[in-house]
């Protein structure tokens, strides 16, 4: 009996030992996987009593986002007037596209409009002074001829009453008088026409032709203005992407410059959709770089985006998911950080 009990205990012991070895990997499989990336590193570095609600990646920006500046016309880059890192003012000419063909068209259009203006001036002024005097002299002459024809007709009538002349002579005198009278009316009407002002329809036509010419000039001038690449804001040239002699096309446009307002620094952070309800406007944050975790800068959430968007700030971690929705948060920094380069990746810790 003793031999049987010892044998049974020896059989049970291995079974128990096997059961313990099997639970070990099962317990290990239930352990949560360790998080990676700058956000998880920030959570672990902060500790449970640090007051950090969440951490997320961000990038340093200027007062404005980086703006890509292009031209409004096709052509070859004729000149570039700025360099990378140069501060520019709004409206300053940055570069110029070669639009020499438009210059000849512009001068021709101006010449045409000048001609139309002279035609209108001539129309308003009317006939020349010499023409006016000639018309008045013709009227005086026609009136004198009519007076002479009237006297001749009266004399012929008197002679006819005395039966000294035939009736045909009186008829000839009537004819001469009628012709002289018609000539006088024609001379008077010609004088009135010479002195008359232009018709409203003629002035309206001249005005419309001038307006059409001026409109054409404006269109050409606007096209020429598009050949001038001007700064849309006060800022700093971040990148110069096209050089003198390179071509620019509106069909496949690419920027000539990248410009941003770097008078102050801000941070654009991307909050994961799982943590959106933990963030609010006016919330305090702490910002640092993975390269220098000891250098920390305080800030305040100035604005939250109104809609979710796709993730743009990538940390470079192979395990990081890029196809997630995030909420952008704009953060104002509490101290001067103009020495920080634009585009630098940082970690943003949101405090309670």
Q: Supply the CATH number for residue 250's domain.
A: 2.40.50.100
Q: How many domains does the chain have?
A: 3
Out of 144-148, 196-200, 249-253, pick the least confident.
249-253
State whether 157 and 202 are in the same domain: yes
State whether 209 and 133 are in the same domain: yes
CA 43 to chain centre: 44
Q: Using DSSP, state whether 234 is helix, strand or coil.
A: coil
**Greater pLDDT, 316 or 180:** 180
Residue 320 has pLDDT above 80, yes or no: no
What pLDDT score does 9 carry? 41
Domain that holds residue 158: 108-218
State whether 242 and 300 are in the same domain: no
Residue 313 CA to residue 328 CA, distance in Å, equals 10
Decide if 11 is inside a domain.
no
For the residues 240-247, what does the mean pLDDT come to?
A: 89
For the residues 40-55, what does the mean pLDDT come to?
A: 61
> Which of 218, 248, 274 delimits the end of a domain?
218
State whether 199 and 269 are in the same domain: no
Mean of the per-residue pLDDT values for the chain?
82
Residue 292 CA to residue 296 CA, distance in Å, equals 8
Residue 19 has pLDDT above 60, yes or no: no
The CB-based long-range contact list for 198-205 (8 Å cut-off, 24+ gap) reads 198/123, 198/124, 198/126, 202/123, 203/120, 203/123, 203/124
CA torsion sign, 149 to 151 to 157 to 160? negative
What pLDDT score does 28 carry? 36
Q: How confident is the model at residue 67 (pLDDT cuts 50, 70, 90)?
A: confident
**Greater pLDDT, 49 or 56:** 56
Decide if 333 is inside a domain.
yes
Order of all β-strands in the sheet with 93-97: 228-230, 93-97, 75-80, 247-248
What pLDDT score does 182 carry? 95
Residue linked to tokens 């049970």: 12
Out of 45-54, 80-89, 219-228, 248-257, pick the least confident.
45-54
State whether 77 and 132 are in the same domain: no
State whether 201 and 53 are in the same domain: no
Decide if 4 is inside a domain.
no
pTM of the predicted protein model:
0.56
State whether 139 and 52 are in the same domain: no
What pLDDT score does 13 carry? 36
Decide if 17 is inside a domain.
no
What pLDDT score does 100 carry? 85
Residue 4 has pLDDT above 70, yes or no: no
Q: Do residues 102 and 74 touch, judged by C-beta distance below 8 A?
A: no
State whether 214 and 114 are in the same domain: yes
Decide if 311 is inside a domain.
yes
Q: Supply the CATH number for residue 48's domain.
A: 2.40.30.170
Which of 191, 94, 102, 107 lies closest to 142, judged by CA?
Answer: 191
Tokens of 168: 């045909």
Decide if 9 is inside a domain.
no
State whether 176 and 198 are in the same domain: yes
Decide if 342 is inside a domain.
yes
């Amino acid at each position: 009996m003793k031999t049987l009990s010892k044998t049974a205990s020896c059989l049970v012991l291995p079974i128990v030992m096997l059961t313990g070895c099997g639970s070990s990997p099962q317990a290990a499989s239930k352990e949560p996987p360790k998080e990676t990336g700058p956000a998880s590193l920030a959570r672990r570095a902060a500790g449970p009593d640090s007051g950090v609600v969440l951490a997320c990646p961000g990038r340093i920006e200027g007062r404005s986002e980086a703006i890509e500046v292009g031209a409004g016309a096709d052509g070859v880059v004729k000149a570039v007037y700025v360099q990378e890192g140069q501060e520019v003012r709004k409206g300053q000419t940055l570069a110029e596209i070669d639009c020499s063909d438009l210059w000849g068209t512009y001068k021709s259009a101006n010449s045409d409009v000048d001609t139309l203006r002279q035609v209108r001036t001539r129309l308003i002024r009317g006939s020349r002074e010499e023409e006016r005097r000639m018309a008045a002299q013709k009227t005086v002459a026609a009136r004198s001829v009519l007076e002479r024809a009237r006297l001749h007709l009266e004399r012929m009538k008197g002679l006819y009453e005395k039966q000294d002349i035939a009736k045909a002579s009186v008829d000839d005198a009537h004819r001469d008088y009628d012709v002289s009278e018609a000539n006088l009316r024609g001379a008077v009407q010609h004088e009135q026409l010479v002195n008359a002002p232009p018709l409203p329809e003629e002035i309206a036509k001249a005005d419309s032709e001038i307006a059409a010419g001026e409109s054409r000039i404006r269109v050409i001038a606007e096209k020429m203005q598009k050949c001038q690449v001007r700064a849309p804001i006060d800022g700093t040239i971040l990148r110069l992407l096209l050089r003198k002699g390179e071509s620019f096309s509106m069909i496949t446009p690419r920027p000539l410059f990248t410009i941003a307002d770097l008078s102050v620094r801000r941070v654009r952070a991307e909050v994961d959709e799982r943590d959106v309800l933990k963030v609010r406007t006016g919330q305090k944050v702490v910002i640092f770089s993975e390269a220098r975790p000891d250098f920390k800068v305080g800030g305040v959430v100035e604005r939250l985006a109104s809609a979710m968007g796709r993730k743009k700030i990538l940390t470079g971690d192979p395990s990081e998911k890029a196809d997630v929705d995030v909420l952008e948060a704009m953060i104002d920094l509490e101290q001067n950080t103009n020495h920080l380069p634009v585009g630098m990746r940082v970690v943003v810790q949101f405090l309670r």
